[in-house]
């Protein structure tokens, strides 16, 4: 019974399965996207697990869920450790059964950061690439996958039809709640993202961990890098304000590095560690409270 409950919460064999799914939807420029029919091949076991993941995500990511998770996790009372140790702690998420990659979480993040550094971006941008997925440690605190990864979106207003597998929102109680199921819900026209509650996950969690330390551009990258319905279809322009639109240019700069920097060649961690420890010390406190 316990194993079945875990499968119900965690249908993906690894978190990379969601990331691979994003790449299929948003391939590198110049690579043709799969058609809707190809993408939603329900006979494929891999797509079945992604589909089940989004069924759970869209059913349970409610306004009340977000408020409850903020109340729990934004106390930051689970663990405290040096930042590099936290990145190594994240490596416990490596799934040996995943045949598509032999790289751990730390190596993936170093690839992202090194691609940013190679293109000459500011050092805070490099640091953002290095730490942007640290919020996935939520899985190590018992959070189900649907409360850690997945496309992010506002809660408290009508769910956009441009969100992947949007049909599953029919089972979300907020879609039947008159407070939340209109275009603006509890918000107002162009009220700004600072006044919006986003779905809970690793983006929102890490944003709250770093919001007092990093430049605003970096915070937008961290908080909204999974907000794909806004990146691609601009589905929530009616609640973004002019400042959000300007800052989203930085999110757009960041996302290609997040999506397309993976390589089978592993970075040499021991060679890169001194640089990133110095970078962490420049911008962040000695320890991170999770």
Residues 6 or more apart whose CB falls under 8 angstroms from that of 101 comprise 16, 108, 262, 264
* DSSP single-letter state for residue 289: E
For the chain, the C-alpha Rg in angstroms (whole number) is: 18
Q: What is the pLDDT of residue 119?
A: 97
Q: What is the pLDDT of residue 40?
A: 40
Residue 26: pLDDT over 90: no
For residues 50-59, average pLDDT = 96
Domains: count for the chain:
1
* DSSP single-letter state for residue 240: -
Residues 6 or more apart whose CB falls under 8 angstroms from that of 68 comprise none
Two structure tokens written together for 166:
């949007």
pTM of the full structure: 0.90
Distance CA 26, CA 43 (A): 21
pLDDT digit string, tens, across residues 120-159: 999 999 999 999 999 999 999 999 999 999 999 999 999 9
Two structure tokens written together for 77:
């009372």
Provide the total of helices (H) and of strands (E) in the chain, helices listed first: 13, 4
Residue 29: pLDDT over 80: no
Q: What is the pLDDT of residue 176?
A: 98
Residue 1: pLDDT over 50: no
Of 169, 111, 148, give the one whose Cα is nearest residue 18: 148
| pLDDT-wise least confident of 4-13, 139-148, 163-172 | 4-13
Q: What residues form DSSP beta bridges with 154?
A: 198
Q: What is the pLDDT of residue 13?
A: 85
Q: What residues form DSSP beta bridges with 198?
A: 154
For residues 10-35, average pLDDT = 78
- Residues of the chain above pLDDT 90, percent: 74
For residues 173-196, average pLDDT = 98
Residues 259, 132 contacting (CB under 8 angstroms): no
Residue 32: pLDDT over 70: no
Taken in order 141, 62, 24, 5, the sign of the CA dihedral is positive
Q: Which residue has the higher pLDDT, 97 or 120?
A: 120
Sort 81 into a burial class: Cβ within 10 Å, 0-12 / 13-18 / 19+.
middle
Distance CA 159, CA 166 (A): 8
Residues 193, 244 contacting (CB under 8 angstroms): yes
pLDDT digit string, tens, across residues 230-256: 998 999 999 999 999 999 999 999 999
Q: What is the pLDDT of residue 28?
A: 80
Residues 210, 223 contacting (CB under 8 angstroms): no
Range of the domain at 54: 2-289
Distance CA 37, CA 43 (A): 11
The pLDDT-based confidence of 185 (bands split at 50, 70, 90) is very high
Q: What is the pLDDT of residue 5?
A: 42
Distance CA 237, CA 47 (A): 30
CA atoms within a 13 Å half-sphere pointing along the CA-CB vector of 37: 0
Residues 6 or more apart whose CB falls under 8 angstroms from that of 211 comprise 219
Two structure tokens written together for 254:
């960041």
- Residues of the chain above pLDDT 70, percent: 88
Residues 155, 197 contacting (CB under 8 angstroms): yes
Distance CA 225, CA 231 (A): 9
């Amino acid at each position: 019974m316990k194993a079945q409950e875990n499968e119900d919460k965690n249908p993906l064999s690894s978190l990379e399965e969601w990331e691979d799914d994003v790449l299929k939807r948003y391939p590198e420029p110049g690579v043709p996207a799969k058609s809707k029919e190809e993408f939603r091949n329900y006979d494929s076991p891999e797509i079945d697990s992604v589909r089940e993941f989004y069924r759970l995500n869209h059913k349970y990511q409610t306004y009340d869920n977000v408020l409850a998770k903020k109340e729990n996790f934004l106390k930051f009372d689970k663990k405290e450790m040096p930042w590099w140790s936290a990145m190594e702690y994240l490596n416990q998420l490596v799934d040996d059964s995943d045949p598509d990659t032999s790289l751990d979480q730390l190596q993936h993040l170093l690839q992202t950061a090194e691609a940013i550094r190679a293109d000459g971006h500011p050092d805070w941008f490099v640091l953002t690439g290095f730490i942007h997925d640290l919020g996935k440690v939520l899985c190590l605190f018992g959070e189900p996958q649907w409360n850690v990864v997945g496309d992010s979106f506002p809660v408290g207003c009508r769910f956009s039809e441009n969100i992947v597998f949007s049909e599953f929102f029919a089972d979300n109680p907020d879609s039947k709640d008159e407070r939340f199921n209109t275009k603006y819900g509890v918000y107002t026209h162009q009220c700004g993202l600072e006044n919006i509650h986003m779905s809970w996950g690793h983006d929102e969690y890490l944003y709250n961990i770093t919001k007092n330390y990093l430049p605003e551009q970096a915070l937008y990258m961290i908080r909204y890098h999974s907000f794909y319905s806004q990146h691609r279809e601009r589905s929530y322009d009616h609640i973004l304000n002019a400042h959000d639109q300007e800052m989203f240019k930085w999110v757009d700069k960041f996302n290609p590095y997040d999506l397309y920097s993976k390589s089978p060649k592993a970075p040499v961690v021991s060679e890169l560690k001194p640089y990133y420890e110095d970078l962490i010390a420049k911008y962040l406190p000695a320890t991170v409270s999770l």
